[in-house]
Amino acid sequence: MNTNGEVPVSWWECEPRRLARDQHEVAKLFPELTWCGEGAGRWEGRLPRWPFHRPEPTGLAELVGQDGMPIRVQYGHAYPMVPPAIFPLDPKPELIEYRQTRFHVMGDGSLCLLQDYSTWTGRQSVTELLLKAAGWRVEYALLKSGVIESMTINGIVNDASRDHLVEQALEELSPGGGQA
Amino acid sequence: MDLTKAFDTFQQTVNADIEQVRLARERRDAFKGALKGEPGVLEVFGSGSLARSTQLKPVHDVDLIMVFDAAAYPEWGQPGDSSAGALEVVREMVKRLLGDSGGTVEELVRLAKPRDRAVKCFIDPPEQDDAFTVDVMPVLRQADNTLLVPSKRKECWSTADPEYLIAQVKERQENWSYFRPTVRVLKLWRHGVPTKVKSLVMEVLALKCLPTDTTRPQALKAFFTAAAVEVNYGVVDPAGHCGVIQPDLDTEALRTALESARDIAEEACAAAADGDSDGAALLWRELFGDDLPAPEEKSSGTAAGSFLYVPRPVVDAPQG
């Protein structure tokens, strides 16, 4: 309730079909995410470890863990015109990594998945952002292991060029790894 | 309209005529074939934009490098008149082997004129506008694989590495098949800048500022954005030997032009992202001229079919 005693209108009251679409698409591709209708709404839960249309790199489970990354997808009432923010919960980027392009992390700790505001038109699916976030988890592990110096510009949803580095990252992280 | 097709059509108007390129390469190969067998000559290879495949039409010159054996010319590489002497050796060779009256290999060259660093060999009449020339530069190869190149004017030899730029351009082309074509587009764009900008300046800026992992419109937008900043630091030899490429460059004028281009490119990309490809094409035409196809006139009649808006996917869009 605001100072005038008015109850704010949630975005899904204005866009009920959009909420239905999001719930349908997310349930289909990301079944471990749960909708919570508090405030402007959010999704909570885990992303799949490897939701991409190509074989999972050998050793990925060892590198990032069996389970996918837990996240919070925070909507605002300007949705769908403004995309939701996706916060990684484990691993959480370190403070020093905030606002660094090579980590694709915003100043509030959410993921910077779109370089240009104009890319998001409000018509695309939230699942595209979730796929990018799943890719971010893999690249973050590669970056922390030291096998890459920065993440790709466009993410790895359809880019297999870094898949082979997973095994290299494991070697780096193994005891005595990375030493000549 | 289909922006990809529009860019493809535009590219065809930018690229040099294939027959022109073929003729230039034939002439280059004639020089290479004739000069390679001479005593004291170790290598003959092409340099310049034709060697990098970033040439803009019309193709009216070819650059060749002749690597001489330092043992055969021990005085070369020293300050003094050995630079002029080296150019004279090349001039004599070209005249003897390729002179238009009595060349022993081919009768091709009307006039061979030593300039500061190379011998300019006129295949067309010298008084003709845009006469086709082959510039032949004598060099010595140093232990670190760089080259010692002469300067008749300064009476000295200096280090250069033109092969570095050739390799860099080749590497980017392997990463992105539109790299060389887009460099040609940028070289053409410079003709609209209200100050003289050497084509090599654009090529070196492209090396630093043109991404190789996105679409042509996005790459151009990124280029103009980054180059408008980069140009302030000075555009220097990427191999790190020859310093500033164009000492008389009006940096402010070029920066202003790059900033304007950046703004238009941003607008064009935003229009395309909103599904307005006609609006985007008009903006790109504003930047590159009328050779970029215009959108078709809209008929005032009723629409022939239903309009289906397909939002642009974001999975592969650049991240911040």
Does residue B128 have a pLDDT over 80? Answer: yes
Q: How does residue B306 score in pLDDT terms, banded at 50, 70 and 90?
A: very low
The answer to whether residue A179 is domain-embedded is no
* Comparison of pLDDT for B17 and B218, the residue scoring more: B218
> In Å, how far are A135, A140, B18 from A58, measured between CA atoms?
16, 17, 47
Does residue B81 have a pLDDT over 60? Answer: yes
Does residue B308 have a pLDDT over 50? Answer: no
Interchain CB distance below 8 Å, B313 and A124: yes
Average pLDDT over residues B11-18: 88
The answer to whether residue A73 is domain-embedded is yes
B287, B288, B289, B290: CA torsion to nearest 10: -120
For residue A157, give the 3-state DSSP assignment: coil
The answer to whether residue A5 is domain-embedded is no
- Cβ under 8 Å to A: B residues 192-231: 211, 213-214
The answer to whether residue A28 is domain-embedded is yes
Interchain CB distance below 8 Å, A115 and B319: yes
CA distance A128 to A47: 12
Is any Cβ of chain A less than 8 angstroms from the Cβ of B175? no
Domain hosting A75: range is 11-172
The confidence score (pLDDT) of residue B295 equals 85
- If one counts the domains in chain A, the total is 1
> In Å, how far are B51, B57, B113, B182, B201 from B15, measured between CA atoms?
15, 6, 30, 10, 19
List chain A pLDDT tens, one digit each, 180 residues: 566 777 778 899 888 888 999 999 999 999 999 999 999 999 999 999 999 999 999 999 999 999 999 999 999 999 999 999 999 999 999 999 999 889 999 999 999 999 887 889 888 899 999 999 999 999 999 999 999 999 999 999 999 999 999 999 999 888 765 543
The confidence score (pLDDT) of residue B216 equals 94
Helix orientation angle between B277-288 and B179-189, rounded to the nearest 10 degrees: 60
**Pick from B269, B314, B319: which is nearest to A153 by CB?**
B319
For residue B63, give the 3-state DSSP assignment: strand
The confidence score (pLDDT) of residue B298 equals 55
Q: What angle do CA B171, B209, B163 make, to 5 degrees?
A: 35
**Pick from B211, B275, B317: which is nearest to A119 by CB?**
B317
Average pLDDT over residues B12-25: 88
Nearest CA in chain A to B316: A154
Interchain CB distance below 8 Å, B311 and A157: no
Interchain CB distance below 8 Å, A116 and B274: no
Compute the nearest-CA separation of B31 from chain A (Å).
43
Q: Which residues of A touch B213 (CB under 8 A)?
A: 152-154
Nearest CA in chain A to B214: A154
Whole-model pTM over 0.85: no
Q: How does residue B297 score in pLDDT terms, banded at 50, 70 and 90?
A: low
**Domains of chain B, earliest start first:** 17-160 (3.30.460.90), 165-288 (no CATH)
The confidence score (pLDDT) of residue B166 equals 95
The confidence score (pLDDT) of residue A123 equals 83
The confidence score (pLDDT) of residue A176 equals 64
The answer to whether residue A89 is domain-embedded is yes
Interchain CB distance below 8 Å, B311 and A101: no
Nearest CA in chain A to B218: A116
* Comparison of pLDDT for A104 and B20, the residue scoring more: A104
Q: How does residue B219 score in pLDDT terms, banded at 50, 70 and 90?
A: very high
pLDDT tens-digit profile of B141-187?
999 999 999 999 999 999 999 999 999 999 999 999 999 999 999 99
Q: What b-and-e string marks burial along B130-150, b requiring 16 or more CB atoms within 10 Å of the CB? A: ebbbbbbbbbbbeeeebbbbb
The confidence score (pLDDT) of residue B271 equals 85
Query: How is chain B split among helix, strand and coil, in percent rounded to 5?
Result: 45, 15, 40
CATH of the domain at A115: 3.10.110
Interchain CB distance below 8 Å, B320 and A155: no
- Mean pLDDT for chain B overall: 91
> Is the omega angle on the peptide bond into residue A51 within 30 degrees of 0, that is, cis?
no
The answer to whether residue A6 is domain-embedded is no
